[in-house]
């Protein structure tokens, strides 16, 4: 029963969000869909960070890789010929459907994570954090200037958009994969290395291998999430995948509680909701009375709320527990 709840809780939340998204005005639809994509990204991040206890600042890179590839291969070749003629030949001429593009996004995310992880998973602690940050910096720099793999600093629009329900389906796949991993032998071994590295090593667990495996899966899910993101927004531009995304997704994870899948989902949805509400309030919102906040309040409030929750409850909103496990 508990196991069912652990998975059903997050999925029910995602389904509810999608149901609202598909039934409301288009302006708000966008916000609900973005919230869904954030869930996918944060859950992908959780697979590595939550289970290993090692912070990664590099995951926006894998999201970017998935988004760029999924976006470019679904764009109409004629449009690409006109807007970004400098692309690699295969990217310029390819045009495939939504589902295969998402599969490619997951594959490229995994491949990138493996390339990065092979050397970097030997590091831990702060050097690991800085090294993943360097990966983010390199990705952003290259995406901003290399015309063969994208629009450079420009924004490329016209990527086919997916419905709220297909985005939700993608998010559910990410959640199920994350759950299956954490229940698996590998997930348990990685969490053992988080709790007590020395004991884990002594019982024959290779920290390097377990971290690399989680990093690769996490990269694949992040790539898939990136594919969902690009099909939700319809545009490609490097600015989307840099410091803001990195910070916001990490904050969502810690805010919800980085020790559990439920925490990742709750954190992503809670911060998204707060962000949307305050964004509306800056343009007047009816909450029994008319509330109008000055421009810029949104960022200050979101920042303050995140800082406050971290200070008052460092283990996050959920305290790192799964859905249905309220008592110790």
Partner 1 sequence: MLAAVNWGQAIADAIALGALYGLVAVGIGLVFGVLRLVNFAYGELITAGAYVLAYTYGWPRPISILLCVGAVVALALAQELVAFRPLRRGGATPATMLVATFAVSFLLQAIYLLAFGSRGQIVGTLGRLNSAFTVDGVDIRWILLVTVVTGLVLLGATAAVLERTSVGLHIRAAATDFRTSRLLGVRANRVIMLSFVISGVLAAAVSVLYTVSNPLVQPTMGVPITIFALVGVVVGGMDRLWSAALGGFAVGLVYGLFSDVMSSTSSVYLPAVVYGLVIVVLLLRPAGLFGAWRSAQVERV
Q: How far is the CB of 134 from partner 1 (least distance, A)?
A: 4
Three-class SS string for the chain? CHHHHHHHHHHHHHHHHHHHHHCCCHHHHHHHHHHHHHHHHHHHHHHHHHHHCCCCCCHHHHHHHHHHHHHHHHCCHHHHHHHCCCCCHHHHHCCCCHHHHHHHHHHHHHHHHHHHHHHHCCCCHHHHHHHHHHHHHHHHHHHHHCCCCCCCCCCEECCCCCCHHHHHHHHHHHHHHHHHHHHCHHHHHHHHHHHCHHHHHHCCCCHHHHHHHHHHHHHHHHHHHHHHHHHHHCEECHHHHCHHHHHHHHHHHHHHCCCCHHHHHHHHHHHHHHHHHHHHHCCCEECCCEECCCCCHHHHHHHHHHHHHHHHCCCCCCCCCCCCCCCC
Strand partners, 285: 291
Taking the least distance from each CB to partner 1, the nearer of 88 and 145 is: 145
Q: How far is the CB of 198 from partner 1 (least distance, A)?
A: 11
Q: How far is the CB of 150 from partner 1 (least distance, A)?
A: 14
Taking the least distance from each CB to partner 1, the nearer of 101 and 260 is: 260
> 178 and 46 in contact (C-beta within 8 Å)?
yes
Q: How far is the CB of 130 from partner 1 (least distance, A)?
A: 5
Taking the least distance from each CB to partner 1, the nearer of 56 and 232 is: 56
> 70 and 227 in contact (C-beta within 8 Å)?
yes
Taking the least distance from each CB to partner 1, the nearer of 69 and 306 is: 306
Taking the least distance from each CB to partner 1, the nearer of 273 and 302 is: 302
Q: How far is the CB of 208 from partner 1 (least distance, A)?
A: 13
Q: How far is the CB of 50 from partner 1 (least distance, A)?
A: 10
**Chain residues in the site for partner 1 (CB under 8 A):** 49, 53-55, 119-120, 122-131, 133-135, 137-138, 140-142, 144-145, 243, 247, 250-251, 254, 258, 294-297, 299-300, 302-304, 306-307, 310-315
Q: Residue 301: is it exposed, middle or buried by C-beta count within 10 angstroms (0-12/13-18/19+)? A: middle
Taking the least distance from each CB to partner 1, the nearer of 77 and 303 is: 303
Taking the least distance from each CB to partner 1, the nearer of 191 and 231 is: 191
Q: Which residue has the tokens 């939340």?
A: 13
Q: How far is the CB of 155 from partner 1 (least distance, A)?
A: 18
Taking the least distance from each CB to partner 1, the nearer of 9 and 257 is: 257
Q: How far is the CB of 55 from partner 1 (least distance, A)?
A: 5
**Gap between the Cα atoms of 40 and 44, Å rounded:** 6
Taking the least distance from each CB to partner 1, the nearer of 224 and 258 is: 258
**Gap between the Cα atoms of 6 and 136, Å rounded:** 32
Q: How far is the CB of 66 from partner 1 (least distance, A)?
A: 20
């Amino acid at each position: 029963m508990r196991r069912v709840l652990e998975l059903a809780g997050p999925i029910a939340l995602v389904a509810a969000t999608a149901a609202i998204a598909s039934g409301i005005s288009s302006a708000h639809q966008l916000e609900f869909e973005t919230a869904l994509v954030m869930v996918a990204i944060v859950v992908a991040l959780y697979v590595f960070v939550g289970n290993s206890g090692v912070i990664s600042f590099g995951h926006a890179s894998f999201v970017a890789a998935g988004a760029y590839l999924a976006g470019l291969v679904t764009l109409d070749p004629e449009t690409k010929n006109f807007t970004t003629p400098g692309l690699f030949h295969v990217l310029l001429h390819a045009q495939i459907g939504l589902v295969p593009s998402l599969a490619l996004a997951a594959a490229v995310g995994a491949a990138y994570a493996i390339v990065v992880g092979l050397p970097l998973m030997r590091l831990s602690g702060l050097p690991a954090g800085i090294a993943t940050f360097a990966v983010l910096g390199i990705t952003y720099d290259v995406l901003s200037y290399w015309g063969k793999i994208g629009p450079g600093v420009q924004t490329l629009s016209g990527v086919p958009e997916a419905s709220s329900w297909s985005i939700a389906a993608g998010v559910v796949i990410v959640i199920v994969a994350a759950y299956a991993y954490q229940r698996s032998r590998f997930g348990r071994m990685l969490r053992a290395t988080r709790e007590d590295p020395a004991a884990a090593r002594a019982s024959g667990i290779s920290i390097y291998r377990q971290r690399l495996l989680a990093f690769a899966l996490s990269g694949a899910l992040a790539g898939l999430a990136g594919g969902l993101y690009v099909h939700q927004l319809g545009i490609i531009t490097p600015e989307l995948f840099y410091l803001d995304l990195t910070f916001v997704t990490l904050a969502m994870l810690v805010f919800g509680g980085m020790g559990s899948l439920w925490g990742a989902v709750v954190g992503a949805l809670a911060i998204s909701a707060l962000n949307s509400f305050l964004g509306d309030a800056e343009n007047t919102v009816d909450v029994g009375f008319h509330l109008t906040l000055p421009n810029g309040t949104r960022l200050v409030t979101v920042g303050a709320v995140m800082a406050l929750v971290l200070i008052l409850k460092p283990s996050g909103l959920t305290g790192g527990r799964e859905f249905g496990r309220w008592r110790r």
